[in-house]
Chains A and B, each alone.
Chain A
Amino acid sequence: MKTSAEHPAAARKLVDAGLTEELARMKLFPKKEMPSGMRKLNYWAMNKIRKALKDPASSCWTNIFAPVEILECFDLSCLSMEALSSFMSGFKIEDHLINGAESSGIAPTMCSYHKNFIGGVDAGIFPPVPFSVTTSLACDGNISTFRHVERKYGVKSYVIDIPYAFSRDAKGYVTGQLKDLIKALESRTGKKFDIDRLRQVIRRENLSRRYYGRYLDEVSHRYYPKTLTLEMFLLFATHLDIGTEDTLEIFRLLSRDVKKYPEMKGKRIFWDYLIPYYQPTLQEYFNYNEDFMIQAMDMNMDYMHQMDEAHPLEALAEKMIRNMFNGPYERRATHVAKLVRHFQPDGVISFCHWGCRQSSGGVNILREEMRRIGMPLLVLDGDAIDRRNSHDGQIKTRLEAFLEMIK
């Protein structure tokens, strides 16, 4: 596939063939150890990407924090930059795409998700869509990346600027931007926005979050066989497709399915930030292993409040401003501490992803907070998608020493 990336059409075909084959394999030979809730999540997430890649005209590029609820009301498929990059890493062509972006002058120190995305667009693997919708929340790479692809490929970039702290005016500022976005989408798609439809989306989102809460309560103390990849796939449900019927169904299923599983006897780990799903040592310890299980990761719980259906735009604005990644790092550390108290793990692992300053730069504060509540913490450095930036020897020694320590 690496060589074919020089021939975009062929590469796109190969990506599609790879996804189709994987989907067929999942249907025909489902992994026995994978719970049915996770099986559904796995199939649906992959299928969604496949469909969206095949139909760029009715898709839109986003980032993980974009207000997808609004996009759903315009029947747009959301292709998040992070998800696209992760799939390329799944096909093991991330090095090729990242090299491509770097040799076009993109800083090598930049986040690999962004570099991979730019490389994928340059290589023609991600066919340009009409526009992108992103936010400035948490990560300031989005503005640069999507402005870059707008300049190069004419993919109009809509950015929602998220203020640092919540206030009535801040909420008004974001709500105003959402209204502007809706106007722009109406004129671009020719569709009329229906606020009642958005209310339904929010209603499903609230319900999803309630089911999700029940699942989390159970998964914190049960052995629910998972993989690193599945934990990352959960981001589709908690972020990229939240509010749809499919997602609601998945959360409903997860909340029932998890109860069928036994109490966890081994060590329970709470994960902070991204997971390098491909990492061999981490896979060895955490994929379908009764001795060590990742209960959950905080990325999937960055906003857990119920939203006001009656005022959906204001509710979306509030959701973004009050996200745990916004504002001073202290907010995030406190939020993680709260989650940790709820999940009662044996230890916490925090992952510093290459190029992610907003997260890595606060790890010292997280360390102090975990010390304060008496929770063992392991900080791992690496890369969530680029294998070259995660050193197995280093990760292995650190992880094994940590697991020995909490025994």
Chain B
Amino acid sequence: MIGYVCKYTPLEMFESMGAEMVRIQPQAADQSRADALLHPNMCSFVKAALEDALTRDYEGIVLTTCCDSVRRLYDALKDQLPGRFIYILDVPRKVNEFSAGIFRDNIARMIRSYEDFSGKSFDQSSFLEIMKRRAAAASLSGAPRRDDRLRVGLAGVRCSQGIKNLLEDHGVQILFDMTCTGLKRRFPSFEGREGQEEPGRTLYDYAWDLLNQVPCMRMVKASGRQRYMEGFSDRLDGIICHTVKFCDMYAFEYNAIKESMDLPVLLVDTDLTAQSEGQIRTRIEAFLESLKTARRDKEGLAGAAGAVRNESGRPPRPAGGGGRAMYVLGVDSGSTSTNAVIMDGDRKIVAFDVIRTGAKSGDSARKALENVLEKAGIARSDLAGIVSTGYGRVSIPYADENVTEISCHGRGAHYFNPAVRTVLDIGGQDSKAISLNEKGDVVDFVMNDKCAAGTGRFLEAMARTLEIGVDQLGPVSMNWKENIEITSMCTVFAESEVISLIARNKEIADIAHGIHGAIAGKAFSLLKRVGLKDEFMMTGGVALNEGVVKAVEERVGSRLFICDQPEIVGAVGAALFALEKYAG
């Protein structure tokens, strides 16, 4: 078993020598060995691949000079796994006859090296047979069937099977996956090839076909990627651009797609650990919801507002019959608080409840349900439908449907003020900027990356360091005098920066003001990415902090609309979705 990571790897040559080629698709919970052997600031894929290679019994690993991180992965593997076939193949970044010749020679050198290592020998005619068969098979595959499912394309880098499964679970058709090894290998030079082979020709043609695949971003000319995507533009609903933390090349692709293609595009940034799965799920589901809305608008079809079915698939209860009043419940299970809202058929809020999310989100959700039913003075059976949202939305057993907090905050913001076009929601562990159209549909959104910088957690950590309650931060900061800048955006660094400010006897008010400035900076850069469109609204518990609100207003240069209960906006949105779905 030989592991590989890159589409420019000459798999077929190894296969013709009887080697089993396995694509390394690592997911490592613990990357501590890789952190030590490489460096913590290396691409997450490479770190996970190193963990994988050290754990599994590969005969060898064949890498290419595809990027800086992989080059260093090679160095580490070579050092750590003596006695295995660890090889790095140099792939030219330009495609022309000269570079194809060089690539052919590099491949030939590699094969000689594998012959020496394995004692096997390369046989040109069996290789040619394989190539002819592959070329024939590739030319047979037809275009995918057209149906009314959502159709997305995957761009970027190293999309995991988990993401593809998630999309398929939501009934999405993946039109193409052009991340790393996602596209089918094609060898046009070998199609319909007959007769005698000139010596040297076979390998040159193979090198040529490999180099002429849809390029990856490390190539000097990568315009082929965009051309490839544009070939699908009449069928695509949107593009998901996947990047790996510390792989910077594909953020450029995201940037280019966003600016030059007239299609919704979502950037998903992962570190290939299981921990990041929840965040990815929210982003992707919210994106699918906005695609469904766009599709519905385009086709003028009435239909589900993009609600995602609960995994139980339980059918919704019928609306309370017999002329009785109709109620729905929206519940937002966030990382910090769980909020529940009961709304009646006239879109009026009947009651709401906000409690702190404990260690088990399910327990808090149950508690919030009991409280809000009591406040409304109704029974559980009076609820025609329940929609959950927020981080814990999939673990609320009593919900009929779940919708992401992105769509819910959008819908909720529109409910409170229809003039709002840009929403900033700073939650416990996620902050997001959402752009809305005049109907309150989500047009675009961006979220913070995995780290807690600029979230409610960041504020909590800072308040703890200052030894004041998080709710005091706002009022305290209003008395600031000296302008202090907290420069570190990393929560851990910022914490030690705050400690050193305390050691220098700086006023708490000034430090708190500096902390709010740091949050506002991060929020501003999110808002800028969705476009700074008037009017602005801030939602979530952090909107109660007047210091943050003021700092954001200064950066944006405009007032933020804050409703009376900013933390229930998501739950209100969920209730509105429930109303749309279940109201008679």
**Which residues on A are within 8 Å of B, measured CB to CB?**
95, 99, 102-111, 114, 136, 139-141, 143-144, 147-148, 151, 159, 161, 163-165, 169-170, 172-173, 176-177, 328-330, 352, 354-358, 360-365, 368, 381, 387-388, 391, 393
- New A-B contacts (13) at CB < 8 Å, excluding given A104-B529, A357-B67, A393-B496: A105-B255, A105-B258, A106-B251, A106-B252, A109-B245, A148-B255, A169-B101, A176-B98, A358-B72, A360-B42, A361-B38, A365-B79, A393-B500
B78 at interface (Cβ–Cβ under 8 A)?
yes
Interface-lining segment among B21-29, B85-93, B124-132, B287-295: B85-93
Contacts of A165 in B (CB 8 A): 90
- The answer, among B88, B222, B245, for a CB contact under 8 Å with A164, is B88
Within 8 A of A (CB), among B362-381: none
CA distance A140 to B252 in the complex (A): 13
- The answer, among A110, A173, A360, A362, for a CB contact under 8 Å with B92, is A173
Within 8 A of A (CB), among B25-71: 36-39, 41-43, 46, 65, 67-69, 71
- The answer, among B42, B218, B449, B493, for a CB contact under 8 Å with A108, is B449
CA distance A9 to B295 in the complex (A): 44
- The answer, among B72, B102, B497, B526, for a CB contact under 8 Å with A163, is B102
A-B contact pairs, 6 of them (CB 8 A): A105-B258, A107-B243, A108-B449, A163-B90, A364-B36, A364-B38
The answer to whether A144 touches B249 (Cβ under 8 A) is: yes
B230 at interface (Cβ–Cβ under 8 A)?
no
Contacts of B105 in A (CB 8 A): 169
The answer to whether B487 touches A161 (Cβ under 8 A) is: no
B94 at interface (Cβ–Cβ under 8 A)?
yes
CA distance A99 to B78 in the complex (A): 38
**Chain A residue nearest to B66 in the complex (CB):** A140
The answer to whether B248 touches A361 (Cβ under 8 A) is: no
Contacts of B249 in A (CB 8 A): 140, 144
CA distance A340 to B269 in the complex (A): 41
Contacts of B500 in A (CB 8 A): 393
Pairs of residues from A and B, 3 with the lowest C-beta to C-beta distance, nearest first: A361-B72, A103-B525, A107-B251
The answer to whether A391 touches B488 (Cβ under 8 A) is: yes
**Chain B residue nearest to A136 in the complex (CB):** B93
- The answer, among B37, B218, B255, for a CB contact under 8 Å with A104, is B255
Contacts of A352 in B (CB 8 A): 39, 41
Chain B: interface residue count, which band? 35 or more
Within 8 A of A (CB), among B466-520: 487-489, 493, 496-497, 500
| Chain B 74-89 interface 0/1 with A at a Cβ cutoff of 8 Å (1 = within) | 1110110000000010
Contacts of A362 in B (CB 8 A): 72, 75
The answer to whether B102 touches A140 (Cβ under 8 A) is: no
The answer to whether A147 touches B252 (Cβ under 8 A) is: yes
Contacts of B88 in A (CB 8 A): 164, 328
CA distance A136 to B219 in the complex (A): 10
The answer to whether A139 touches B68 (Cβ under 8 A) is: yes
CA distance A358 to B101 in the complex (A): 27
Contacts of B78 in A (CB 8 A): 328
Contacts of B39 in A (CB 8 A): 352, 357, 360-361, 363-364
Contacts of B38 in A (CB 8 A): 360-361, 364
B254 at interface (Cβ–Cβ under 8 A)?
yes
**Chain A residue nearest to B492 in the complex (CB):** A391
Contacts of A151 in B (CB 8 A): 256, 260
The answer to whether A173 touches B75 (Cβ under 8 A) is: no
Contacts of B222 in A (CB 8 A): 147
B233 at interface (Cβ–Cβ under 8 A)?
no
Contacts of A148 in B (CB 8 A): 252, 255-256
CA distance A141 to B94 in the complex (A): 16
CA distance A164 to B93 in the complex (A): 11
| Chain B 244-265 interface 0/1 with A at a Cβ cutoff of 8 Å (1 = within) | 0111110110111010100000
The answer to whether A144 touches B75 (Cβ under 8 A) is: no
Knowing A163-B92, A164-B88, A173-B102, say if A109 contacts B248 (CB, 8 Å): yes
CA distance A289 to B290 in the complex (A): 61
Contacts of A99 in B (CB 8 A): 521, 525
CA distance A6 to B69 in the complex (A): 35
- The answer, among A95, A109, A393, for a CB contact under 8 Å with B246, is A109
B152 at interface (Cβ–Cβ under 8 A)?
no
Q: How far is the CB of B424 from chain A (nearest CB, A)?
A: 14
**Chain A residue nearest to B524 in the complex (CB):** A103
B528 at interface (Cβ–Cβ under 8 A)?
yes
The answer to whether B529 touches A109 (Cβ under 8 A) is: no
Q: How far is the CB of B89 from chain A (nearest CB, A)?
A: 9
**Chain A residue nearest to B267 in the complex (CB):** A105
- The answer, among A95, A110, A144, A357, for a CB contact under 8 Å with B217, is A144
Contacts of A172 in B (CB 8 A): 98
B279 at interface (Cβ–Cβ under 8 A)?
no
